[in-house]
Each structure stands twice: as C-alpha cells, then as structure tokens.
Amino acid sequence: MSRSAGRIGWFLVWAVVFCDIGTSLYYVPGLLYASTGDRAGFFVAATMVAFIFLCIKEVEITRRFPSGGGVVSLSDRAFGPWFGALGGQLIMVDFFLTVAISAVSGVYYIDSIWHVGPVLPVTLGCLAVLCGLNIVGVKESASVSLVLAILAFTVDIAVVGTALFRAPPEVLARIPEELASVRELGPRELLVGYAGAWLAFSGLESMSQLAPAMRDLGPTPRKGMIAVVVTVLLTAPLVTFLSTASLPVEIKAHEPERFMSELAAVWGGHGLKLAVVLSASSLLLFAANTAIIGNYHVMMALVRREFLPPALGALAHRFQTPYRAIVLCTLVPAAVLVAVQADLLLLGELYAFGLLGAFVLSSTGIDVLRWKDGQRGAGFWLGVLTSAAVLVAFVVNLVEKDKATLFGGTIAAFGMAVALGTRTGWIDRVMEKIPRLRPPSQVERLETPFFTVEQAAASVLEGEVNVIVASRGATRKIFKEAVDRARARGLGQVYAIYVDEIPGLFYPQLAAPTPEGLTVLEAACAMIESMGMKAVPVWALSHAAAASVAEAAEALRCDTVVIGATQRTIVWTTLRGKFIQELLRQLPPEIRLIVVG
C-alpha cells in the first residue's frame, strides 16, 4: 500500500467520523420526540454513557484490524466466517438507511428556505447524481471532511450558545421539568426511549474503516475518538434539550425533519437559520455519499470472501469502480424512499435494526477476543456490561419497531441466502447462463510476483539511480522510452508501477492488484523484457495515484519517471484530479518527468 495511505492524524480522523455521526443531530431530535415527547433530551444524554464505553471498543477494533474491515473482520475472527457475513449484511442494512435518511434530510433542510418542490423527486435526483459520481470515482478526501466538520461543529455551537444566551429563564426552566417528568414513565417507556436514542450515534462504525488510512494505530484512534466523544457530548444532548424546550408544539409535531434550523430561527433569526441549512444540507449529502462508498466497500469485501457473487464486484473498464455494487447501493435507498414517500418518521422506524445489530456483533466480538487473550479484569467486565446494554436496545427495537425488524430482517436474510448460494456455487451456475452477469474470468498471475513499494525499496542499493515507468495501459512507446533512458545510464532494469487508485475515504482489503492491474503489469513486463531489459513490477494501492508514483520514485531512488500523456476527460479530472499536474507538484525537483505522447 502506498505510504500516502498512512497520513491521517487524529484531527482528520475526528473530522471523518464527526461528518458521519454528527449528521444524526439534524434529524434524531425530531424522530425521538415523536416517540418520547419532551423527554427526548434525557434519553440522548442517558445513552451517552453506554456510547462512551462502546467508543472504547471501537478504538480497540481499529487497532486489532489495521487493514480495516470493521464488524466483518471482527465477527469473522471472533465467531467464524458466517458471522462475518452476517455482520456485513447488518452493516449494509445500516448503510442503506443512512443513505436514504441523510439524503432526504438534506433536501428537507434545503426546502426549509428554498422551496425546491416535491422532496421525493429531488432526493431521488440527488441519489442518481451520487450514483454517477461514484461510478466515475469521486475523489472524496479527509480534507473535505475536515472543512465540513469544522463548519458544522462551529454552527452547532453557535446555535447552542445563542439559544442558551437568548432564551428567557422560563424556557430554560422547562429542561429540568422535562428531566423530572421521566419519573412518571414506566419500565416499558424507559426501555423504548433508551433503545430509540441509539439512533443519535449512528456513524460510530466508520472509525474502524479508517484504520488503513491512519498515521499510526497508537494515539491516533484514541485521540480521534476522544475528540468525537467531546464534540458529540457538547452538541447532541444540548440541541435535543433546547429544541424540545424552545420550539412551538406545532413545529415539534409536524416538522420533525428540521428541528435544528427552526431552533436557530427562534433564537438567532434568519441568518443563523441559513447557516444551519447550508452546513446541514452539505454535511447530510456528503454523509449519504460516504455511506454509498462504505457500503460498496463492504460488498466488495463480501465478494472477496465469497459471500456475494463475483459478478457484483465487476469493475467498470474505464473508471475501475464496482459499478454494479454502486448502483445497488443507490437503488435500494431509492426504493425505500419511494416506499415510505420520503416520510422521515417512517425512515426512523426502519433504521434501528442494522445499526444495533452491527453494534451487538462488534461489542460481543471484542468481548470474545479479550476472553481468548486471557483478559479477566475490570475492563473486560465493563465491556460485557456494554454489550448487555447494546443487546437490550437491540431486543427492545426488535419488539417495538416491527417495521425495522421486518425490513432489516428481510434484507439480512436475503443476503445470507445469497451468501449460501454463492458458497455452494449454484448462483454462479445460474449467472454463467446470463452473458452480462457471468463471473469475471480469472486473470493468470504473473510468473514473477509483483512487489509493493516497500518490498521493492528494500533491495535498492545505496547510491543506485533507477528509472520508473507508470502506465494504466500497455502502450509500447511508453515502455520503450523508459528502456532507452535506463540503457543510456547503463542500468539493467526498469521499475514498472501500477497504482490501483481507490476513490473515497475508505480502503478495501486488497492484497493484490485488480484484474486490470495484473494485466497491465504483465504486459509491461513482457514488453520491457522483449527489449532486453529486466522488468520489476511494482503495485500500490492509494487514494491518489500521483502521490503514490512520486513516493515510489523517491523510495526506489529514481531520477526519471516516464508516463504517458493523460487521457482523462474533463469529468475525470474534475472528480479525481489532474494526474500530471499533481505528479509535477509532488515530485522533488531532482527527479525528471518524461511525458510520452
């Protein structure tokens, strides 16, 4: 993997996770009010205790599984491969609902100021655009997350601060009254409110998905998670308390999808409401896109583990993205939105199954691994208590939210049936009869194994100067130029690198090049060796191909980099960047760049 994959520090980790978990703030108070009334703030605050202990476990998952995989990898190791498949199905259900609820919430916030017309068609249009962007391969970066996270948190604090400063004492006095009224609730109402409040913490699972991109797995995940906990603690309970205490009954009853902007309007006026709408809509649509990316990475992981048909993992030839998986990741949320007619309360009813199911597997999985490691101290038993707390919430939602149980259970059961069919081979036998759905043919592996940048760099001698050629195709003149440059220096070898450029924020668990990567490396080696020069195939996995090529050139002590003229379209360069310009910016001045063609 390229070293560019390991440069995310704790601040960027916080930004990515907060961009996911922080979106809950925009719709959870309204959803929770529908089931618990003015006591919604109490339940969010009370559930924070269990949430903090679950955060500790999420940090441990990140450290135990540095290559990512989250609940899939954890459940596989703790309980066996079929539980890994189940974990994948549950997190996919969670992602499907995250896409739907984030997208429609973003449109609702936009509609609160600029009336865009019927919300459902507009939301479906947004999903279609996100689908197209992901097929091309949108270059979503942690730096974008950082800007949005800082913007959203700043606006959140401004809303809380303005409400606390301007709200009269009689309004703020309603908060302790709401807390006192909890004593009137019976056990059933308390359990329902507690279970429903977990929706406020959706997005926590994205932490472990970032493991391969972190600078280190020591202080980075711990500091990042502390920042997440602090920012969530400063916003989620307070916004919920202030919303239920400040907003008129008619808004709370009929406009649950825009509590945050209405709270801003009540105490800060139109300007603050506009700031909320801009930050909320941007963050929510960004979160919907991130959920699509996370979901198709889960699908690809299940394809590689042979729990989903290989045809689902087919890559678009032009963009090298899993277009079938991406389409599925947007079609299912679109179908859900149509089925519920963009009703946010109904979406909230469907949400709990996958989220809490994945939390149960993650939490109990860590308990099992700790037990196997011989841990029996206070930390272990606190972990068991955390698992029990999450399990209670899951069971309560199974009983109380029958729509969520039916939807999530059906999707998960169907997914497990597909996994069984894939493992037994009968799905492949069916798909082989459908030309466009045939499993991709296996690419013959190179006789000489490829090297990662780190492996190739280990054999470079002190003072040695080399030539490297980077190409996404098998164009002979590019490799001839590299061979001529190497021969002129008296060298006996040329490094040929192929970078699998992965769009999005998360890394898949790839241990080898994609089929196209293998084909290009094999062709490069054949052409270079036909010219009488030894070829050394090098592979890298990265979000930024230019950065990987530049780093490889430095690590392999190359003074010349040979590439072909770019064939990227305007759309490609807009979404993924301008390769040659980025490479020129990244290369040290002493390394020459030769562009052929």
Residue 406 pLDDT greater than 70, yes or no:
yes
**pLDDT higher than threshold 80 for residue 140:** no
pLDDT of residue 125: 94
Q: What would the mean pLDDT of 3-27 be, rounded to a whole number?
A: 79
Answer yes or no: is pLDDT of 30 > 60. yes
Taking every pair of Cα atoms in the chain, the longest distance, rounded to a whole number of angstroms, is: 87
Torsion of CA 9, 211, 24, 383, to 10 degrees: -110
Asked whether residue 19 carries a pLDDT value surpassing 90, the answer given is: no
Portions of the chain given CATH number 1.20.1740.10: 7-424
Top pLDDT among 150 and 319 is at 150
Residue 173 has pLDDT above 70, yes or no: yes
Q: Is the pLDDT of residue 2 over 50?
A: no
Tell me what the pLDDT averaged over the chain comes to. Answer: 85
Q: Which helix (H) or strand (E) holds 499?
A: strand 493-501
Residue 562 forms beta bridges with which residues?
469, 594
What is the pLDDT at residue 123? 94
d(CA 29, CA 114): 23
What pLDDT shows up at residue 157?
95
* The pLDDT of residue 428 is above 80: no
146 pLDDT above the threshold of 80: yes
Instruction: Quote the tokens at residue 520.
Output: 């290009």
Q: Is the pLDDT of residue 461 over 90?
A: no
What is the SS3 assignment for 190? helix
- Residue 482: pLDDT over 50: yes
Task: Report pLDDT for 112.
Answer: 84
Is a pLDDT exceeding 80 seen at residue 531?
yes
Kindly tell me if the per-residue pLDDT of 3 is higher than 50: no
- Residue span(s) of the chain under CATH 3.40.50.620 come to 451-596
448 vs 123: CA distance, rounded Å: 50
Specify the higher pLDDT residue, 569 or 457: 457
**pLDDT at residue number 506:** 64
Find out whether 125 and 334 touch, Cβ atoms under 8 Å: no
Q: Residue 431 pLDDT more than 70?
A: no
Least confident interval from 211-220, 228-237, 268-277, 505-514: 505-514
Sign of CA dihedral 575, 576, 579, 581: positive
451-596 is classed CATH 3.40.50.620: yes
pLDDT score of 240? 92
Q: What percentage of the chain carries pLDDT values higher than 70?
A: 89
Phi then psi dihedrals of residue 479, to 5 deg: -70, -35
Q: What pLDDT shows up at residue 584?
A: 84
- The per-residue pLDDT for range 542-595, each reduced to its tens digit, is 777 888 899 899 989 998 999 886 555 554 454 445 778 888 888 888 889 888
Around Cβ 318, how many Cβ atoms within 10 Å? 12
- 32-39 average pLDDT score: 88
* pLDDT confidence of residue 575: 44
Check whether 159 has a pLDDT greater than 90: yes
Task: Please state the rounded mean pLDDT for residues 161-169.
Answer: 92
What is the DSSP track for 113-153? Answer: TS--S-HHHHHHHHHHHHHHHHHHT----HHHHHHHHHHHH
Residue with more model confidence, 437 or 99: 99
* pLDDT value, residue 468: 92
- H/E stretch holding 42: helix 40-64
Extract the tokens encoding 259.
Answer: 């509590």
List, for residues 69-126, the tens digit of each pLDDT value.
788 889 999 999 999 999 999 999 989 999 999 999 999 999 888 888 889 999 999 9
- Structure-model confidence comparison of residues 537 and 429, the more confident one: 537
Report the pLDDT value the prediction gives residue 296, as an integer from 0 to 100: 87
Q: Is the pLDDT of residue 1 over 50?
A: no
CA distances (Å), origin 583, targets 553, 577, 579, 592: 11, 10, 6, 11
Question: Other C-beta atoms within 10 Å of 77: how many?
Answer: 18
Q: How far is CA 322 from CA 79, 94, 257, 294, 317, in A?
A: 29, 20, 33, 12, 10
- Top-confidence residue, 61 or 2: 61
Query: Is 1.20.1740.10 the CATH classification of the domain at 7-424?
Result: yes
142 has pLDDT over 70 = no
Helix-then-strand count for the chain, H and E = 25, 6
